[in-house]
Amino acid sequence: MTTTETSPPPAATGRRHVDRLVRAHRGRFAWSYAFQVVGGVAPLLQVLLLRSVVDGLVEERTVGTQVAWQVAGMFALGLVGVWAAYAAKVVSTGAAGAVIADMQSSMFRRLTTMPIHFYTTVRPGAVVSRLTSDAHGAEAMYTSVYPVVVSGVTTIVASVAIVAVIDPRLVVLLVVIPVAIAYVRKAEARINELIGKSFDVTKELASTAETFVSRDGAVLARQHGRTRHEQAHFEEHARELAVLSAATAKAAATSGASYGTAFVAITAGALGMGVWLVAEQNVTVGSVILIVLYLQQLQAPVQSLLNTRYPRMRSSIALDRVEAVLAAGPTGDEDAAPSTRPGTATAAEPSPAGPGRDDPAPALLMRGVRYRYPAVASYSIDGLSHAGDALSIAWLPLTGLDGNIRPVAVARDESEHANALDGIDLAIGRGEVVAVVGSSGAGKSTLAGIAAGLVDCDEGVVEVAGRTLRDLDEDRRAQLVAYIPQEPYVLHASVRDNLRYANPDATDAELLDVLRAVALDDLVRQLDDGLDSVIGEKGHRLSGGERQRLAIARAALKRPALVVLDEPTAHLDTSTEARVRAAMGELFGDAGVLMIAHRLSTVRHADRIVVLEGGRVVQAGRHEVLAQEPGRYRVLLESSSQDALS
């Protein structure tokens, strides 16, 4: 069986996933850089023409027609430079936008196909930030940094080359430019320190906002009288960030002013040296003017190159974060063939009373299924996952990002903990309802996740309606299996859209039929817009029981071969539970039902009960029989009629 995991990208690979996306648009970027080169060279050629005009006038050898052509050439070169820069900007922005869109789409595809465990580690807001802020933060690399580097380097190299051709002695004057650069770089250490502090404070500010600008955070603060404290804490960080931002701006302005002052001094020195060269070394006046103008023209590209340091740093960080998502791909090889551990109880045969006992392809068939909890490092993504523990999904153990699995309150040795499921054999016939019970950590929800196709087992075979799940893609799995968790997710959309999410072709009559079966028809009629009523973010207009019933109705519209229920009636009152239970046969027809049971009332009505302990089947049978036999099931019943099965 293929083990689906994610691994952090090795350092040697660089940004190969991002680079692949960029290469798809390399033609457009090449045109952009070509326009940048033209735009950088054109102003330099203008100065060459100006030198010719000045020298001609000084030597009194220039006629009016020649001057007119030279001026026209300068005008044409100016237009070429302007429109080349325009074309470069338009083309680079378009290409960068296409790359960012590809990045966002690729990240979304990857994030929506991560192992199900990954979603237990995701920090609130981090995914949205990665898809938006980080993706758009990377855009500056292609719209600002690279174009400035191409244009600036072109201007500097072309200037040195032209001056060297005119008079190699003038190249000595350009050596003073590194002096200005070295002076400016001294100020960058202070700016880097301030930016680092700003990043830390911004992170604290965002963490406070994410935590307490939420329902759970707000309730926590209000219950403990800490709202004003958190407000003051946020304001303190906001003021600190403002001070750091002002200090950073001042340091940057000081650096810029120092750089400008240095270039003024350099230009004055160049002019003085040029006068000496004209007087003593037979250098033309036009050449001196050329070198002075080139020095002034070099100030902007050199400054621009220095200014790319921070956009480049921010974009590099953003690109690394994008790469971390894109590189989080599945790995693994085919595992060993399934086997059955001797001495364990089996639930492989459907009960004789099961409605699907004569069907050659049972709704669910598991043979030798084993599953080991993966290390958290294998499915977490740097910057997206909590630095703490992953506890949001019931079948996960208490874990940390160090990749070590630490069992909690489970009395079994390390070898037993290694496999969450250990040699499971289970069959569910068509129309049969099988309840799975066991103490906390027994493997119930892990079993449900594997049966639903949300998690792949490490060893063994899982078949639904005669089809091996590992051989099916997501769409086919979704057609065969309906999974209803204890806390179902409801879309911020209308009742109609929520139901049709499972079956876009369902008619209104079919929608009303399933709503009636789960006792939601009266509620929908009372809503202002009926089926078109929007039920709010995560279904906040519905109670917990109403959300559960809506999820059951939605699952019924799929007409699945197997229904996996994680205590779907946990939030229902007794009368509503009885009505929904009675409607199960109508809703799901001959589909097999695997029910994770936490309540005694649910267990009593199952066709068969499977008892898990330590990831193994230890008992199987009907309630009436198991309740009379010595074993784990009777222990659970005697300890508590309700809580022991949770």
Cα separation of the two ends of the chain: 30
Describe the strand order of the beta sheet including 608-613 as a list of residue ranges.
481-484, 562-566, 592-596, 433-437, 608-613, 616-621
pLDDT at 87: 94
Q: Are residues 159 and 39 in the same domain?
A: yes
Q: DSSP assignment of 207-235, as one string?
A: HHHHHHSSHHHHHHHHHTT-HHHHHHHHH
Q: Look at residue 403 and tell me if it is in a domain.
A: no
Q: Are residues 154 and 16 in the same domain?
A: yes
User: What mean pLDDT is predicted for residues 110-132?
Assistant: 81
Q: What is the CATH number of the domain that holds 244?
A: 1.20.1560.10
CA angle, 296 as apex, 295 and 300 as ends, to 5°?
Answer: 110
Give the residue, 81 or 275, on which the prediction is more confident: 81
User: What mean pLDDT is predicted for residues 291-320?
Assistant: 78
Q: Look at residue 155 and tell me if it is in a domain.
A: yes
pLDDT at 355: 42
Task: Determine phi and psi for 611, rounding to 5 degrees.
Answer: -105, 125
How many Å apart are CA 298 and CA 47, to the nearest integer? 12
Q: What is the CATH number of the domain that holds 632?
A: 3.40.50.300
State the total domains in the chain: 2
Strand duo 592-596 + 433-437: pairing: parallel
Q: What is the 3-state secondary structure (H, E, C) of 528-561?
A: CCHHHCECCHHHCCCCHHHHHHHHHHHHHCCCCC
Is residue 3 very low, low, confident or very high in pLDDT (cuts 50, 70, 90)?
A: very low
With a pLDDT cut of 90, the percent of the chain lying above it is 21
Is residue 409 very low, low, confident or very high in pLDDT (cuts 50, 70, 90)?
A: very low
Task: Determine phi and psi for 450, rounding to 5 degrees.
Answer: -70, -40
Instruction: Give the best-scoring range by mean pLDDT among 266-280, 318-332, 368-382, 427-441.
Output: 427-441
Examine the pLDDT at 83 and tell me if it is beyond 90.
yes
Overall pTM > 0.85? no
Is residue 95 very low, low, confident or very high in pLDDT (cuts 50, 70, 90)?
A: very high
How many Å apart are CA 646 and CA 598, to the nearest integer? 5
Q: Are residues 302 and 433 in the same domain?
A: no
Examine the pLDDT at 299 and tell me if it is beyond 50.
yes
How many Å apart are CA 53 and CA 62, to the nearest integer? 7
Q: Look at residue 27 and tell me if it is in a domain.
A: yes
Give the residue, 309 or 318, on which the prediction is more confident: 318
Please report, as a single letter, which amino acid is at residue 417. H
- Rounded to the nearest 5 percent, the helix, strand and coil shares of the chain are 60, 10, 30
Q: How many residues does the chain have?
A: 646
Q: Look at residue 387 and tell me if it is in a domain.
A: no
Is residue 170 very low, low, confident or very high in pLDDT (cuts 50, 70, 90)?
A: low
Q: Look at residue 179 and tell me if it is in a domain.
A: yes
pLDDT at 258: 73
Is residue 5 very low, low, confident or very high in pLDDT (cuts 50, 70, 90)?
A: very low
Q: Look at residue 123 and tell me if it is in a domain.
A: yes
Residues contacting residue 211 through CB under 8 Å, at least 6 positions apart: 124, 217
Is residue 96 very low, low, confident or very high in pLDDT (cuts 50, 70, 90)?
A: very high
pLDDT at 10: 38
DSSP code for 131: I
pLDDT at 548: 83
With a pLDDT cut of 70, the percent of the chain lying above it is 76
pLDDT at 20: 92
pLDDT digits (tens, 9 = 90+) for 26-80: 999 999 999 999 998 888 888 878 877 777 776 665 566 777 888 888 899 989 9
Q: What's the mean per-residue pLDDT of the chain? A: 77
pLDDT at 507: 92
Here the tokens at position 385 are 């996952």
Here the tokens at position 349 are 């045969």
pLDDT at 30: 93
Is residue 88 very low, low, confident or very high in pLDDT (cuts 50, 70, 90)?
A: very high
Which regions of 500-614 does DSSP assign to beta strands (E)?
562-566, 592-596, 608-613
Least confident of 211-220, 267-276, 635-644: 635-644
Q: Look at residue 339 and tell me if it is in a domain.
A: no
Instruction: Give the best-scoring range by mean pLDDT among 71-75, 391-395, 505-509, 524-528.
Output: 505-509
CA angle, 321 as apex, 317 and 323 as ends, to 5°?
Answer: 115
pLDDT at 164: 76
Q: Are residues 296 and 442 in the same domain?
A: no
pLDDT at 391: 33
End of a domain among 285, 309, 326?
326
Q: CA 500 → CA 347, 487, 558, distances in Å?
A: 35, 19, 9
pLDDT at 530: 87
How many Å apart are CA 604 and CA 203, to the nearest integer? 52
Instruction: Give the best-scoring range by mean pLDDT among 93-102, 373-382, 400-409, 545-554.
Output: 93-102
User: What mean pLDDT is predicted for residues 184-209?
Assistant: 76
Domain that residue 8 falls in: 2-326
- What 3-state class would DSSP assign to 460? strand
Is residue 543 very low, low, confident or very high in pLDDT (cuts 50, 70, 90)?
A: confident
End of a domain among 326, 358, 382?
326
End of a domain among 274, 309, 326?
326
pLDDT at 316: 86
Contact 447, 324 (CB under 8 A): no
pLDDT at 354: 41
User: What mean pLDDT is predicted for residues 249-254?
Assistant: 81
Q: Look at residue 241 and tell me if it is in a domain.
A: yes
